[in-house]
């Protein structure tokens, strides 16, 4: 089960409502709620937010523990020896980002192009 499915199911159960009630509150169908909760379909972010609000919750960014800045992300690379192939990110133009220095350089390039804020 994916993260969206778990969030939705937990929020609905905590609110003490059925799938049918959630569907009614959110303006969708019970089968759709079931597909979301069982991880058969991932809702769009806007849809997930609407469904969570119908349960009395709010979708917030940053709650996942993801880094909030490039600098914070770079810190997670520090002290790591040569990364495995699973740890390598490739840009759309084929460059590899393997280290914190690679990520910092790429972020600076994006900032200079006006595509990333500080």
CATH number for the domain spanning 8: value is 1.10.260.40
Token pair belonging to 3: 């993260």
Average of per-residue pLDDT values in the chain: 81
d(CA 90, CA 117): 21
**Is there a single domain that holds both residue 50 and residue 82?**
no
Is position 28 within any domain? yes
For residue 98, is it within any domain?
A: yes
The pLDDT tens digits for 68-84 are: 566 776 676 666 666 56
- Is 90 exceeded by the pLDDT of residue 18? yes
CA dist., res. 63 & res. 79, Å (int): 25
Query: Which pair of tokens denotes residue 20?
Result: 């049918």
Specify the pTM.
Answer: 0.52
The answer to whether residues 50 and 7 belong to one domain is: yes
* Contact residues for 118 (Cβ-Cβ < 8 A; gap 6+): 111
The answer to whether residue 93 is domain-embedded is yes
Q: 82 is in which domain, residue-wise?
A: 70-112
pLDDT in tens, 33-48: 999 999 998 888 889 9
What is the domain count for the chain? 2
Domain-located, residue 65: no
Structural domain includes residue 13: yes
In a domain, 10, yes or no: yes
| Percent of the chain clearing pLDDT 90 (strictly above) | 36
In a domain, 64, yes or no: no
Q: Answer yes or no: is 62 within a domain.
A: no
């Amino acid at each position: 089960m994916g993260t969206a499915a778990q969030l939705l199911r937990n929020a609905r159960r905590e609110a003490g409502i059925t799938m049918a009630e959630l569907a009614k509150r959110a303006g969708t169908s019970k089968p759709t709620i079931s597909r979301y909760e069982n991880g058969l379909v991932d809702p769009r972010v806007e849809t997930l937010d609407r469904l969570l609000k119908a349960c009395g919750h709010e979708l917030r960014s940053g709650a996942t523990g993801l880094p909030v800045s490039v600098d914070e992300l770079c810190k997670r690379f520090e002290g790591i020896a040569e990364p495995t192939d699973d740890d390598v990110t490739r840009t759309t133009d084929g460059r590899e980002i393997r280290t914190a220095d690679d990520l910092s350089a790429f972020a600076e390039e994006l900032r200079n192009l006006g595509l990333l804020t500080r």
